[in-house]
Amino acid sequence: MPPRNLYIWQQDAVNWFLAKTKPGQRSLGSSPTGTGKSEIALALLRQVPGSIIIVPQPDIQRQMACKLLGVESLDCSREWIEERGIWTPMRLRKASCLPAAIIWDEAHHRNCPTWTELGSRLCQAGGMEFGLTATPYCRTSFQTAKFAGLWHNSTTFLTLEMAIQLGFRRRIGCHTIPLVDDDLIKISSTGEYSVEAVTSTTKSKLVQLADIIEDLASRLSTVCWLPSTPRSEEHTSELQSPYVIS
């Protein structure tokens, strides 16, 4: 499959990785979700001899293979995908030899034990690591500092504001619509409320809520949270839009 034409910023990202990363080194680049980091990974796969892409799990492995081949779906074995350079960490851990370079997709997982083991072995052998992520941080400040310390080079290719300006992302909005007067919800002495009580009190508002959600969903990707599973199931049956999640 011939390589796709990259956006200018994506080609600049590829060039940055190739210029900055020397044998035995690690480089990390970040940009928001939905801005095309997979295309950068695939471009590196094509340009760096002996490289492979590591993804966190099998379903992402298959998605990456589809992008590589430019198809919607694939009916093939994991071994077939691995032959084309796309692996998961556990599968590579069992392989007989390491590649010349690893391209980490979702590189914020790099602190995980299997990823750490593979990366350490690779760098000791003089290999290179290229990391791509939308979230260059971890759950705690300690873990984030440890993660940042792994990389010899790091940069941000696109900020969220830049991604919005370029049309890759939309600014997130939050609309809170009260379904019931707070005074009607009984709160216990411990400050908790009963799910059953909330469900009962909001039931009369479901028709109104359905109209609101239908209107939003016709214009925006919409997620609806409801107080209980039975209420969610009941409400889902009333919605016509298949892209609404409740």
pLDDT tens figures, 192-228 = 766 666 666 666 666 676 777 777 767 766 666 666 6
- How many angstroms separate the first and last alpha carbons of the chain? 39
Q: What is the DSSP letter of 9?
A: H
d(CA 51, CA 128): 9
- CA dist list (Å): 222 to 35, 139, 195: 21, 27, 23
Give the span between the Cα atoms of 147 and 74, in whole angstroms: 34
Q: Model-level pTM greater than 0.85?
A: no
pLDDT class for 27, splitting at 50, 70, 90?
very high
Where does 16-142 show beta strands of DSSP type E?
A: 26-30, 51-54, 86-87, 101-105, 128-133
Q: Rounded CA gap, 110 and 135, in Å?
A: 12
pLDDT digits (tens, 9 = 90+) for 105-123: 999 999 999 999 999 999 8
Percent of the chain scoring above 70 in pLDDT: 76
Distance separating alpha carbons of residues 44 and 76, to the nearest angstrom: 23
List the one residue out of 103, 76, 41 whose CA is nearest residue 92: 103
pLDDT digits (tens, 9 = 90+) for 39-96: 999 999 999 999 999 999 999 999 999 999 989 888 999 999 999 999 999 999 988 8
**DSSP alpha helix (H) spans, 77-226:** 78-83, 89-93, 113-124, 141-150, 160-166, 195-202, 206-217
What is the Cα–Cα distance from 75 to 104, expressed in whole angstroms?
24
